[in-house]
Structure 1
Amino acid sequence: MDTLVFKSKSFIILILAKFISSIGTFIQSMAFALYVIDKTQSGLLFASVLMVALVPRVLLSPFCGVIVDWLNRKRLLVTLDLISGGLLVTIALLIGSGEISMPVIYGIAIALGVMSAFDEPMVMTIIPSIFKEEKALNAANAVNMIVLALGNLIGPMLGVLIYTNFGIVITLLVNGASFLFAALIQTFMRIPTDNVSNEKRTLSKFRTDFAEGVRYIWHDKRMKTILLCIIIQNCFFNGATQVGIPFVSRVDLEVSNTQFAFIEVVVIVGAIFGASLSGVLKKNLTADQLFVRMINIIGVAFLCIGIVAFGVINNSQISFYLILALYLVLGITSINVTIAFQAELQKEVDNKLLGRISSIVMALIMASVPIGQGLYGWLFDVFPSEVPFIISALVILVIAFSYRQVMNKKQYESEKNTVYPST
């Protein structure tokens, strides 16, 4: 990883702010999960809280990108963190030592879901505002991924600790304080404002700018090909990992609660390790070559999980730890696909358009997750456990092969049309 990114004061502040606020968010998410289950004993209500937080991100993200492209990004980032922190602290103080009703929980989840719809496109656009070189972009994206993964690792553990010892209201105060502190330190960032123009911002202009983002993706054949491959891969990847691996571990292998908890930890560790190695893995490779290589490894890993799930090993403990090792490989490879794709977006797209384009892209990718989860829930009910993993392996290997064929064809056509000087 290129350590030069740590010489940028603005980047360090951005990453520190994201780290602190992500820990606060994961603390609250875990506390809400425990609170709703404890108070209602309802799986449906628990799932509904998760859904209402996700829906605003999926529905609003494409449109939030236009606003990110219009406004001063630093000011918008600080303002949204102030609103999030102020809202949480105010609710916590109003409730006092009382209990939180389900409507209040839904309201908080929706409000924070709306705020987070702005977050990803803002970070995506701020990073290339700070760094222009491809190597630095890759390193900065890798650091961002490591920070999010660490937040995902530390936050839930702290969430359990704080909720168990101090209750749900204190978790709101902690998350609110994390947002307010993030807003405070982000005021010291220096971010270029070349995306801001004096054009009049109207509904008609909003529609035009949004349509411009859609047209850009549609007419850029390479971007469209990569995006289609990632959406399909993401659907089958998330279905197999988020539904399949926990299902097989608990139902077929009958692992303990402690072993079951390792599943989430392993993929986060894989993401951290993979992001740390991103510079080494990409060395001397183009983004297209890295993409194909990582996708191939993912396909082979799923094939191996399918073989283990078939029951070729009679010892369930050995089978479980083999699956965990393969899950670690999946975490390492998948994070590098994400980092490479983000860097390509940041490098190829004009920063003035990056907010709307990246937000549309991320919303499409995010929408594939529940589709994959639903599909694999059905597959594991209908077929033996090894079949869904083998389906994932075959689909993902076909994606890698198809993408390589498309890129080879484009390279051939490019070389064919090249005019060489006469000797």
Structure 2
Amino acid sequence: MMSKRSNRNFLFLIIGQAVSLFGTVLLRFTVSLLILDLTGSAALFGMITAIGYLPPVFLSPVVGFLADRKNKKNLMVGLDGMYGLLAVCLALAMRLPHTLAGITVAMVALSILSSFETPIVQSTIPLLQAKDNLVKANAIVSQINMSAQLAGPLLAGVCYGIVTRSDLMGVQSIFLGCAICFCLAAFVELWIEIPIVSIRRKTLSMRLLRQDYREGIRFLTKERTYVLGAILLNAAFVLLIQPFITTGAPFIISVVLELSAALNGCAQAFMGAAGLIGGIIAGSLSSRFPLSQTYRLFWIMGAAIALLGMAFLLRATAYVTYMILVLAGVVIFVFASIAGILILSAIQQNVPDHMLGRTMSFYTAAVNAAFPTGIWLYGYLYDKLINYLFAVLLATAVLIFAVGKMGKQIYKHL
């Protein structure tokens, strides 16, 4: 059995993940641009995109079941193989008469595949790294993810802008390029040696799935209640803060402050870079920052939101408000990245190897349920209370402080 300290296996894992994530983001963003081009409707585009958030919520129990009982390397290689096949099918779908229908089905299929990837990778990292090295390992994976999120859309936008939908062969070449990325990722992952967790092997069945699901629920609600508490608090934080990052900041800059798209893009670039910096800081902190103090990071983010709320309350000028918004976004991205890595690593450290898949699937399900819920809720509040954004922001800050207060009691057990 390979040692958990094996840098070789972890290196193969992060290289495979880097190539696979880049291909996934490039594929997803290109598909999004294509859907918007085909429909010309923001409402229809939003509806199709929202559908993509549903599969991870419902498929997570199955993912945890497979991650705990099946060979993780084979699962990762198989997923990248299916990603590649999907990319090829998308290239072929460009020649069909009902292109939008095919693209929509592909968008859902892409979301289904993505729902399997995260819990499998998160449950693999503790098997390749020592417990005291998990923060650094998760920080590296987080930086890879953030880099892909920055580079993927940039390259997709440039390539799509060059070829445009009228150039059928050009769009197909983007999809085929994604397929090559996935094939390379699968090839690299073939060289990973992942320790086999000792768990009874049985023929897959619905009965076994229900049994594993009940065992996972019992583990979190009876044996590791503080792990469940940390998962739920993280989901609450995602519900409160992610809508500001995803929809709030662009909406405020473009609609409320009536500033240019260039300034909007600059704000997103600054915040994306801040996420990378947060991952680097988390990796360097490693075990030197006690998890019991993580609640203070929540309070700092709450203070950043409150500062922006005060700017609206005091009717600051558009450019002053913009600078405060960017500052708040940078603070949130840095500290959210640090807190997320520390909490995820602590959860992995407190879960036995044979329960990692199911625990990570519950973690992913909670986050994936909170994310669209928060976007819908805050989208409604921003729209209806556009003249009272200070109240929305200050109320959000208070709730973030409350989440941090509850975390103070939970994190000391991790």
TM-score normalised to structure 1 length: 0.89
1:302 aligns with 2:305: yes
The match for 1:193 among 173, 191, 196 is 196
The match for 2:148 among 125, 129, 151 is 151
Structure 2 unaligned regions, length at least 5: 164-169
The answer (yes or no) to whether the contact 2:83–2:110 under 8 Å persists in 1 is yes
Change (3 A) 1:266 1:7: farther
Distance (whole Å) between structure 2 residues aligned to residue 308 and residue 74 of structure 1 = 50
The match for 1:183 among 186, 193, 196 is 186
Distance (whole Å) between structure 2 residues aligned to residue 6 and residue 320 of structure 1 = 46
Alpha-carbon shift at residue 195 of structure 1 (Å): 4.5
Alpha-carbon shift at residue 100 of structure 1 (Å): 6.7
Distance (whole Å) between structure 1 residues aligned to residue 149 and residue 114 of structure 2 = 15
Structure 1 unaligned regions, length at least 5: 412-423
Match of 2:51 in 1: 52
Distance (whole Å) between structure 2 residues aligned to residue 6 and residue 152 of structure 1 = 28
SS, match of residue 277 in structure 1 = helix
The answer (yes or no) to whether the contact 1:31–1:163 under 8 Å persists in 2 is yes
SS, match of residue 193 in structure 1 = coil
The answer (yes or no) to whether the contact 1:69–1:195 under 8 Å persists in 2 is no
Match of 1:237 in 2: 241
1:130 aligns with 2:128: yes
The match for 1:105 among 103, 106, 122 is 103
Deviations 1:108-166 (A, max 9, x none): 112221211110111111111111232x1100100000000000000001101222223
Detail structure 1 runs of 4+ shifted over 4 Å in the superposition.
Answer: 95-100, 280-283, 405-408
Letter in 1 for 2:327: A
How do 1:110-125 residues align onto structure 2 when only pairs under 5 Å count? 110-125=108-123
Distance (whole Å) between structure 1 residues aligned to residue 134 and residue 244 of structure 2 = 30
The answer (yes or no) to whether the contact 2:126–2:134 under 8 Å persists in 1 is yes
Match of 1:417 in 2: none
The match for 1:334 among 329, 333, 336 is 336
Letter in 2 for 1:304: L
RMSD, aligned CA: 2.2
The answer (yes or no) to whether the contact 1:86–1:180 under 8 Å persists in 2 is no
Change (3 A) 1:322 1:62: same
The match for 1:206 among 191, 204, 209 is 209
The answer (yes or no) to whether the contact 1:306–1:386 under 8 Å persists in 2 is yes
Match of 1:398 in 2: 402
Alpha-carbon shift at residue 310 of structure 1 (Å): 2.5
Distance (whole Å) between structure 1 residues aligned to residue 174 and residue 106 of structure 2 = 13
Distance (whole Å) between structure 1 residues aligned to residue 253 and residue 97 of structure 2 = 36
Letter in 2 for 1:24: G
SS, match of residue 377 in structure 1 = helix
Alpha-carbon shift at residue 286 of structure 1 (Å): 2.3
Distance (whole Å) between structure 1 residues aligned to residue 202 and residue 37 of structure 2 = 52
Distance (whole Å) between structure 2 residues aligned to residue 379 and residue 225 of structure 1 = 27
Distance (whole Å) between structure 1 residues aligned to residue 198 and residue 326 of structure 2 = 45
Letter in 1 for 2:343: F
Distance (whole Å) between structure 2 residues aligned to residue 160 and residue 394 of structure 1 = 38
Deviations 1:167-192 (A, max 9, x none): 42222112111111100111111111
Match of 1:374 in 2: 376
Alpha-carbon shift at residue 327 of structure 1 (Å): 0.5
Distance (whole Å) between structure 2 residues aligned to residue 403 and residue 101 of structure 1 = 48
The answer (yes or no) to whether the contact 1:25–1:175 under 8 Å persists in 2 is yes
Letter in 2 for 1:399: V
Match of 2:83 in 1: 84
Change (3 A) 1:195 1:321: farther
Distance (whole Å) between structure 2 residues aligned to residue 195 and residue 268 of structure 1 = 40
Distance (whole Å) between structure 2 residues aligned to residue 195 and residue 158 of structure 1 = 43
SS, match of residue 52 in structure 2 = helix
User: How many residues were matched structurally?
Assistant: 402
Distance (whole Å) between structure 1 residues aligned to residue 192 and residue 154 of structure 2 = 30
The answer (yes or no) to whether the contact 2:6–2:129 under 8 Å persists in 1 is no
Deviations 1:343-400 (A, max 9, x none): 1121111111110111012111210111111221222233311111111100011222
SS, match of residue 143 in structure 2 = helix
Letter in 2 for 1:344: A
Distance (whole Å) between structure 1 residues aligned to residue 309 and residue 357 of structure 2 = 39
Distance (whole Å) between structure 2 residues aligned to residue 133 and residue 95 of structure 1 = 46
Distance (whole Å) between structure 1 residues aligned to residue 240 and residue 62 of structure 2 = 26
Distance (whole Å) between structure 1 residues aligned to residue 189 and residue 142 of structure 2 = 19
Distance (whole Å) between structure 2 residues aligned to residue 324 and residue 221 of structure 1 = 37
Report sequence identity in percent: 24
